[in-house]
Structure formats: C-alpha cells, structure tokens
Structure 1
Amino acid sequence: MVSLWGSKTTDEEQEDGGSTTPRDAEGNSRAPPSRREYERREANERDRLLPAQPRPPHADGYLDPDDPAVSPYNLWTVRFLRYLAIMFLIITFLWWVLLLVSIFISPPGLHTRGSGFFDFSYTTLTAGMLLVSIFFFSAPSLAMRVSMAILAVVLLIDTIMIVAIPRMRLEEGWPGIASVAWASLIALFCVVTDRVVAWGKKEEEERLTGRAETRRTLREWLAVLFATLIMIVYIIIAVLMTATLILRARDSSLEMDGERILVDGDKYSVHLACIGNATKNGDGKLNPTVLIEAGENPSEYDFEHWAYSSWENGTIDRYCYWDRPGYAWSDNAPSPHSAGMSADALSEALAVAGEEGPWILVSAGYGSIVSRIFSARHVRNIAGIMLIDPLHEDLLHRIASPTRGFLLWSWGIISPLGIQRNFGAIFNGRTREDRVYGRSAYQGGKFIKAQLQENLVAESLTKNEVVSARTIQSPDVPLVVISSGISVRRDEEWNRKQKDLTIITDNLISWDIVNKAPHEVWKTFDGRQLMEKRLGEIVDAKYKSVEVDSE
C-alpha cells in the first residue's frame, strides 16, 4: 500500500490499522515532514491530490469557523452601523428623559395640547427597538428583519394618521409627530442594519473559512428566539396604539355645542358653551347667568343635563358650562397646572366669548375649589354660589397623595395602548360620547393627565390659591351648600368640613343634606329636585337669612 508520503506500508502497519507513519529505506519509522518541508517537497506520481490523512492545521490557509477572528465586525460598514445604533440610542434616551420631565413640568416650546403620553410611548418603543438591535447585533435573522419591517409599516401608518387628521395633529404637536416619525425611521434602520450584518457575516465566513456557515449554535438560536419574541411584543404594542389612534380619529369628529377658545397666550384651547338668551330685569340690568363647574368628571356627564332640565323648566334663563383643561373637548394645559390657573383660563375664555355675567356659580366636588377662586377674583360680578358636596381645601391632601399620583402616572403611560377603550368599543358597545365625556372618559390620556396635574399641585399651589380666595371672598354673596348624605354619614371629617364651607360668606341661604344621595348628588331624583329648587331661590333672591335644612 502506498502511504501519504509515497512509501509503502508493511503488513504490520496494515495489521495495526493501516498506519501511514512514513519509514525510510531500511524500514525505520521517521517523523512526518514539517509544513515547510511538505510544501517544498517535489511531488511524485504516487502523491494524492487530496491526502487521506489530515494535513497540518490550517494548511489550506482557512480559519476554523469557531475562531473569534471570523466576525462581521471585521468590516468597517458593520462597525459603523453599530456605532450609529449606539448614537441613536443615546439621542433617543435624551429625548425620552425630556418627554418624561415634560409630563410634570412643560419646558418652553415643548408643551403639547394632548396628554404627552403618546410621544413618550413612541420614544420608549424606539429605545426598545434599538436595544434589541444592539444586544442581538451579531445574531441576524430573517425573523428579526420581517418583524422589524412589520413594525416599521405599522409605525408609518401611525405617522400618516397623526399628520393627516387635523385634531390629532394639533393635539400631538411637533413633539408627537417627531416621536412617531423617529420611531418609523429607527425601525427601517434596524431592518437595514440586520441585513447588512447578515451580509457581512456571510462575507467574512466565506473569506476566512472557505464557506458560509449554515449552522447555528444553541446560543445563537436562543438569541434569535428571544429577539423574535420581543419583536412580536413590540408589534402587538404598536397595533394597539394604532387602534387607539383610530378611535381618537373617530372621536375627533364628534360634534359639540359651543366652541373651543384659545387661552394662555394661545398655548391651548378650552371648550365653552352657553345655552339660552341673556335677559334683563325691570331695572334694565342683565339677569344672572348660571356658570357650571363640574366635579371630577366632564360637565357633560350628567351634570350639564340637570342644568339643561332647569333651563327647560324655566328655573333659569341662561347657563354656561365649560370643560377644564384635559376634560372632554378641552386641550391639556402646560404643567404644572393649578385650580387658580383653571379659573384664569375660564375668565379669559368668557372674556373672549363676550360673556359678561353676572354669574351664579354652581359647582361640585373639586370644581368647587375652582369656583371659589373664580368668585374671589370676580367679586363684583358674582350673584350667588351653590356648592354641591364640595371639596374642602383642608381635604386636598386626599387627591394629592403620592400613591394616587404614581397610579395616575402609570395609567397614563399605558393609556396609549387603549386596552380598555379598544375592548370597550369592540365588545361593550362604547360610543364616541362615552369616550369623549361619558362613562369611559376616565380612560383617555388627556383626562388622566388632567387628574395627574391636579394631584401634583393640590397641596401646594392650589391650596394656597383657595386659602387666599377665602380671605377676600365677598361676605354678601348668597350661598347654598348641598351635601351627600352618604358621604356625610360615612366620613365624619367630610361632615365637619361641609359645615365649615357654609360660612365662607355671611349670606347662607341653606345647607341641605340629601340622605340617600351619593357624592354626585344630581344622580338621584331627590338631589336634582332640591338642586333646582335652591337654584331658583338664588335666582329670585328670596332668602336673606340663614336656613339649615336636612332632607
């Protein structure tokens, strides 16, 4: 038998398993030639084209596929894309921090009329895409590219919707448009990056190992699996946000009474509507107009309906109502925003609309704080005050608790997903009215942002404003206080503070406790009847002495 080196094997070698150890002419074994000797030796007719025994390591000039030197990072294009991804992540993180801060304190020029949660969510999604791209940079896969491409298409649809629909474009402003457009571009960048890394990996494997590696290690398969699962979660998030945008687009077409009026240097607009015609009394002076200030929900949610019934019954000639910033059709105001700032926004909106008063202020819950501040700032133009289960300034700590603030912020962050709103619209038949000012209004990002703003400054700015208002409140203004029987019996502190509110003026007409009424007194028949009766008494100014009733 002819050995690798051109010599014959002996029978003993064949018996030993065909050993091909080279031997000299005397039959003595000798060491195989070195690689240099092997390359310099002249070939003979007995040499094989491909040796049967493995040659010395890397004799063909190629590296082992597992060698660390076999890497797509050898290409400057791949390294540049990685550095670019890191730079984009740093830019996105800085923008993310700025948007997070703007939820609590609006920097100049960065305020949006919407909640501010959408642009924050898009930026968070962008950072997530970049982190996935960087962490799994060296493990490109078709699944990664396909899922990232789907995400890019969904985000592009969101961009088109926000830009094309006037109301959403106005609410999101340039920060929202920039955030969703940036997310779309980053998704496309990640697709290109993954494709370039896959190309670079193949090029380097062919150059350094002689062929492209078709196998993956367990670690690489796990990397591909985790990256794909994360991208599927991102796609679901983007689809839910798109569904929420579709609902917002539909809700923006809901007609409203009245108009939106720009306030605070045209930074945002508030909704104001007036029903009825201004009338004059025998002295030629204008009769009072009732000014409705809602509690913890938009005015249109039941409260305004009661005022409309009073107008239809002829109890009042005219009434106006508005939505505080962030409620119903009103935009969100810049942060921070206090009750006094709401009162100033109302004053400006009334002046722009040409409404002069005099006013009978009817308010409930937290809205009573706003009305009291408004009354103190328009002393000569207030004809009466009716407080319905009002919130006392000493109880503002209840809405200012850190736990409540954190929960509101958390709900705001996930509000763009619209889980409750989307499923409510699909399975529970929730309408546009429900979402804008009805029973589902609390699920919207604007509403949550308004509640969060009230929480942040309740114990500081708002409390100082209402305490100051109490000291300058006109003592001659007729006053009616109507309290919830359920709230009074359940909470002794609430009962004491209701009594204290009956002395904010010296002209108390009545303090009524409606036994079976909840905090929203007007939701019971007895509550509505009593409210209309007391309102008529203020209008007619029949009572000049204090009278305390309990019903």
Structure 2
Amino acid sequence: MGSLWSTRPGGERPKSAPTHNDEDDEATPRTVVGQPDEHTRLLPQPLTRDGIAIRPLERVLITFLWWVLLLVSIFVSPPGLHSRGSGFFDFSYTSLSMENLIILLLFFSTPSKAAQVTCLVTSVLLLFDMIMILAVPRLRVEEGWVGIASVVWALLIAIWVVITDRVVAWGKGEEEERLTGRSETRRTLREWVKTLVSEIVLIVVSIAVLLLSATLILRSRDSSLAPLGERYYVDGDKYQVHIFCTGNETDKSGHKVPTVLFEAGERPFGLSLQAFADNAISNGTIARYCYADRPGFGWSDNAPSPFSAGMAADVLSETLTRAGESGPWILASAGVGSVYSRAFSARHGKDITGLLLIDPLHEDLLYRLASPHRGFFLWLRGILSPLGIDRISGAIFRGRSREDRVYGGSAYQGGKYIKAKLQESLVANSLTKNEVTFSKAIQEEDTPLAIVSSGIELRKDSVWEAKQMDLSHLTKKLVAWDIVNKAPHEVWETFKGREAIVRRRLSCGDWVSWLSVEEAGKLYLQMCGIVFTAAYTLNMPHRLQYPPLIPGGNSQLAPTIEIEYPRKEQQSTSFHTSHSIIDTTINNKVQLPMPNFKMLRYLYAAPQDICPCAIHSVISPSLSLHDRASSNS
C-alpha cells in the first residue's frame, strides 16, 4: 500500500535536506528544510472549496443552519416544516449531529480505539431509531419528513465520524513508522486529557441516543392504543384532532336533546372530567356529551405554532362539522378551558343554550400563563422530553401503562403535551387575550350562565376572587354562582364539588337547580309533613322535561303530586308526564314535604322562564299502592 503522506510523484518521499558536494561546502551555504528563505511564501496556500480541510466545516455549517431552523419552528412554524408531533425529537437528533461534528473537529488529532467503538455503538442505535420511525406508522406520521431527515442525517454523521477517526489513526500510525520505524504507543499528558474528555462526551452522547431509542419504543407501544372516538383532519389537512361523543341524540319522543360539550382545563379530559361525565351519562343527569382533545392533548396531533384560543375554537368547529355533530350545545369547561369555551360560544351564538364555568380563568389573568420564566422552563422540559427519563422509569418501576402516558397521570411528561402548553404560554397574553376580549363583546347576553368556584382558590387569592365575580357578569342571565368551600381548583375532585356541578346542570335550554342533602333537610323542616314524589309538566314542543334528580336517602313509596308548568310563550300546548324523584347514586326515592309555590319554582326551573303552576291533585300518604295509582284526589 502506498504511503498516505506521499507528496512526490511515484511515491518518492521528501528528503530531510539537500545534498552537496564537499568542494561546494565553502562556496554554498547549507540550507535546512523547514527554515524560511527568500523563496518561501509569506501566506499559506489558500483553501479551496473542494479541499479536504473544508469538508468538515461544510457539514458543520449545514447542520447548524438546520438546527437553527428547527429551533425557530418550535415557536413559529415555517411553511412546510410543521410536523404533527412535538418537534422535539428532530431537534434532538440534529443536536446530536452537531455534538458529533464538534467533537470530531476538536479531537481529531488524538484518535482512540475507545472513541471508535463508542461512535460505532451510537451509529447502531441511530440505525435502530431510523428503522423504528420508518416502520411504525404513527411515528412516521408524527415525525414527518422533518424528523426522518434529521435522524438519517444524524446516522450519516455518526458513521462519517467513525470512518474519519479510523482513517486518522491509520495515517498517524503510518507516519510514525516512516519517521521512527515503529508505531508510537506512548501519549503525552495533553493527548491523554483530550482522549479522556472526548470519550466522556461520546459516552454521554451514546447514553442520550439509548434513551431516545427507549422513548421511541414507548411511543410505538402507546400508538397501539386505539382512540375512544375518531380523528379528523383539520386546517387544510395539516393535522388531526380527536373527538368523542356518547349518549342519545334524541329523547323518548324523538326530539333532539342538547349535547354537553366539555372543554378540559390544564390536564387532558381523560384525566380530569371524563369520569365525572361518564357517571353523569350513566345516572341520567345528561343525555349526551362530546369532547375534543385540544391539539397536543390525548390522541390529537400538535398544531403549527403559534396557536391561540381563537384558532382552537375554529379547529373545534371544523372538527364538529367533519364529525357530523351539530348543536344545540351546552358548554361545560374548567380552568383555562373556559377561555377556549368562551371563544367558541361567541362564534356560535344561538347554538349555545348554556355556559357552565368551573373555577374559570379570567382573561386578565392570562399573563400568569405567559410569564417568561414559565415559558423558558416549558421549552427546557420540551428539549429534554425526548430522553424520556421520567416516562422510562415510570414504565419500568411504577408500572405506568400506555393509558397513563396518552391521557392519564403521565401525559404531562410527553413532548406533545409540553409543546401544547408552550404554545399556549407564548400567545396567552397577546393573541389569546385579544380574542377572548373580543369574544366577550359579542357574547349572547341571554345565554344562561352558571359558575362553580373553588373556595380554596378564592381564599388563597383575592385577585382570583374578584375576577370570578367579574365573570358572573359575562351574560345577563346568571343562574347561580356556587362556591365550594373545601374544593381545590379542580372542583369535581371532591364530593361537594361534584354535587355543586350536578346541581347546576342544563336541560332543554332551561337551568334546573338540584337540591343537596342539606337543602332537602331544610325543606323537610319547613313543610306541613305531606310526603310526596313530585312530577310536573313543561310545555316544550321539542322535548319533555324530566324532573330533577335529588340526592337523598331511603324512604317508603310516597304519594304523587301532579304539577303543570305551562310556558309563557305557548300557553295552549301541554305535555303531561309523571316521574319520581330518584337518588342519583343508589336509585331510590326520597321523602320530602310538599313545598310552597316559591319552593316549587326553585326546585324545577328558573323563575323567569316559568308561569304560575297549578297543583292538580294530592294523593294522601295513607292510601295503598293500588289506591295511589288510581286516586284522583
């Protein structure tokens, strides 16, 4: 094999010094190679673009420009560069490429066998990552061409680093043999330090790639979890949003019932309100509900940046349309989700039959979400999220399932969720605040409104209390503002909180107040002792209104009082039905004394919507069951 360092044609090696005849020694001065003379260039030979010294710098420049572009796309998505995933994985692979190139440039003069083995391990892991991203459909879709290009480039750079280090080691050994006749095995202290530093950095890089591979395995496992509902493309087919609906669209008479449209707060719906909503469906509190995961939550893809509340409302409208869902809607939202619901409500006007805000966030407090310090830590968490240290440890040591990681207690650790919260933070005090302020100006004033607030939050923060009061004036039809004293921000986590929410449910466009156990006891003390189960008639051509369900205790069968509630606008038509007041949990009847007219109005509907009622008959509690069923007086 020819010498790697030959500089003359034919492989002739350069001589250390020119030869001279003895007789010319005194006439000609001796010239030593390496010392400048009158023929030496003052400047070194210029570097050419195709020169071997330029190629590593070109790769560094290309990688750096791609790294900057991906960094910017986290905050503002350039056209064509949006990926349906978080975007943190492709940024991580590009960062690894930069690290490998920098290590090569700094330590190429001290090649080592350990560095070559470590780089080879990194290359194998990157090859595994590339195969997994290409093989798993969901990963391939979420990463897109940006993520695939990033991991392929990282793999090529890692292989090139291995080859370069090996070539330098071979060339250096050949030169040592040419100069000394043997390969030098000794190293200077400086060389040992450089070798140690480079090896430590390369080991850290290999561990990072190993963690990336483990996180990809978890993501591929999570992708096998089928969504509860359906995904629909939105925003020009850029990404998909997941929506789920359950319950009956019509009542027993075939009339369409309002659908409760839930909007989750700070956490995914599956972790927060879903259990409450499912219980409400099972016990008959509500007939039907829908929810859509905001982009980045649950089974929904991430949206391009920036992404504001108004954009989210438009996306939700498009998703509902594609899913074939139509109003009327009852909007129930919690925390920051109330901001999104208000934007949706203002856009849909008459389709909204009521608003239920659970410890809502006021637009004047959005600056708390937009603080630079919060935004920086969200970005930092996002950059580190592909390593998946908390997710991997949770899966191995705590038995976290794919449900936990997709919509459960570990969802906050995922890159998609962190990206969504970062997007929310970036525009909270600018775009989102402006949109919600505008929505307030065009909100329908006759929309029924109920607010349930956390007593703990009100006592802890006087500003929060003042803003809750301000939200009670969002419309001119405030039904109630309930404060649950011992409830946290997520009010439904306590029994009293769930009871307060249920008490303010919406039905057929009318607000119905529910009685708590304490309120039922107060009624019991006030009345004349006639035990009854109430039934009434609402004059609604589109749907029969069932009586409210009152939490209570066990009792014997009670007599029935028939009450007619004609509507103001249509006095001529009436629908008659009789139902018992049924306990929501144990499905038994509750004994209550007959209230006066004022109490009856409180029990069954908003006073401004109901005309005076007429008591048709009272069945004595002393009658037998047969007599109760047939008696008219």
TM-score, scaled relative to structure 1: 0.84
Higher RCO (CA < 8 A, seq sep 6+): 1
Residues 416-465 of structure 1, C-alpha deviation per residue, up to 9 Å, x if partnerless? 00111111111111111111111111111000000000000001100010
Report what 1:444 is aligned to.
414
Counterpart check, 1:223 vs 2:194? yes
Contact 1:392 1:501 in 2 (8 A): yes
Contact 1:304 1:321 in 2 (8 A): no
Report what 1:179 is aligned to.
150
Counterpart check, 1:357 vs 2:327? yes
3-state SS in 2 of match to 1:290: strand
Report what 1:544 is aligned to.
606
Counterpart check, 1:273 vs 2:244? yes
Structure 2 counterparts to residues 315-330 of structure 1, below 5 A:
315-330=285-300
Contact 1:315 1:536 in 2 (8 A): no
3-state SS in 1 of match to 2:451: strand
Percent of counterpart pairs with the same letter? 60
Structure 1 counterpart of 2:98, from 107, 119, 127:
127
Report what 2:494 is aligned to.
524
Matches of 2:479 and 2:471, distance apart in 1: 13
Report what 1:94 is aligned to.
65
| Letter paired with 1:387 | L
4+ residue runs of structure 1 moved beyond 4 angstroms?
35-40, 79-82, 536-540
Counterpart check, 1:427 vs 2:397? yes
Structure 1 counterpart of 2:121, from 131, 150, 153:
150
| Letter paired with 1:179 | S
Report what 1:52 is aligned to.
none
Q: What is the CA distance between 1:86 and its match in structure 2?
A: 1.6
Structure 1 counterpart of 2:348, from 350, 372, 378:
378
3-state SS in 1 of match to 2:275: helix
3-state SS in 2 of match to 1:378: helix
Structure 2 counterparts to residues 67-466 of structure 1, below 5 A:
81-280=52-251, 285-466=255-436
Matches of 2:473 and 2:351, distance apart in 1: 20
Q: What is the CA distance between 1:526 and its match in structure 2?
A: 1.2
Matches of 2:22 and 2:225, distance apart in 1: 88
Matches of 2:500 and 2:242, distance apart in 1: 28
Matches of 2:195 and 2:413, distance apart in 1: 37
Structure 2 counterpart of 1:515, from 482, 485, 490:
485
Report what 2:567 is aligned to.
none
Going from structure 1 to structure 2, the CA distance change for 1:58 and 1:545 (only over 3 Å counts) comes to farther
Higher helix share: 1
Matches of 1:194 and 1:89, distance apart in 2: 17
Matches of 2:190 and 2:20, distance apart in 1: 39
- Larger CA deviation: 151-160 vs 198-207: 198-207
| Letter paired with 1:343 | A
Q: What is the CA distance between 1:211 and its match in structure 2?
A: 3.5
Contact 1:390 1:483 in 2 (8 A): yes
| Letter paired with 2:382 | G
Contact 1:163 1:169 in 2 (8 A): yes
Contact 2:258 2:507 in 1 (8 A): no
Contact 1:384 1:538 in 2 (8 A): no
Report what 1:471 is aligned to.
441
Matches of 2:189 and 2:241, distance apart in 1: 59
Q: What is the CA distance between 1:39 and its match in structure 2?
A: 12
Matches of 2:84 and 2:231, distance apart in 1: 12
Going from structure 1 to structure 2, the CA distance change for 1:118 and 1:545 (only over 3 Å counts) comes to farther
Report what 1:20 is aligned to.
none
3-state SS in 1 of match to 2:504: helix
Matches of 2:20 and 2:434, distance apart in 1: 92
3-state SS in 1 of match to 2:73: helix
Residues 174-207 of structure 1, C-alpha deviation per residue, up to 9 Å, x if partnerless? 1101101110110000011111111221232333
| Letter paired with 1:257 | L
Q: What is the CA distance between 1:216 and its match in structure 2?
A: 1.6
Report what 1:505 is aligned to.
475
Q: What is the CA distance between 1:210 and its match in structure 2?
A: 3.8
Report what 2:466 is aligned to.
496
3-state SS in 2 of match to 1:362: strand
| Letter paired with 1:544 | A
Q: What is the CA distance between 1:501 and its match in structure 2?
A: 0.6
Matches of 2:443 and 2:173, distance apart in 1: 80
Q: Unpaired runs of 5+ in structure 2?
A: 1-18, 25-29, 35-44, 513-604, 609-633
Cα RMSD (Å): 2.5
Report what 1:43 is aligned to.
none
Q: What is the CA distance between 1:38 and its match in structure 2?
A: 8.6
Report what 1:16 is aligned to.
none
Residues 215-249 of structure 1, C-alpha deviation per residue, up to 9 Å, x if partnerless? 22211111111111110000111111111111111
Matches of 1:296 and 1:308, distance apart in 2: 19
| Letter paired with 1:510 | A
Contact 2:264 2:272 in 1 (8 A): no
Matches of 2:300 and 2:258, distance apart in 1: 25
Q: What is the CA distance between 1:334 and its match in structure 2?
A: 0.1
Going from structure 1 to structure 2, the CA distance change for 1:82 and 1:164 (only over 3 Å counts) comes to farther
3-state SS in 2 of match to 1:416: helix
Going from structure 1 to structure 2, the CA distance change for 1:352 and 1:39 (only over 3 Å counts) comes to farther
Contact 2:258 2:508 in 1 (8 A): no
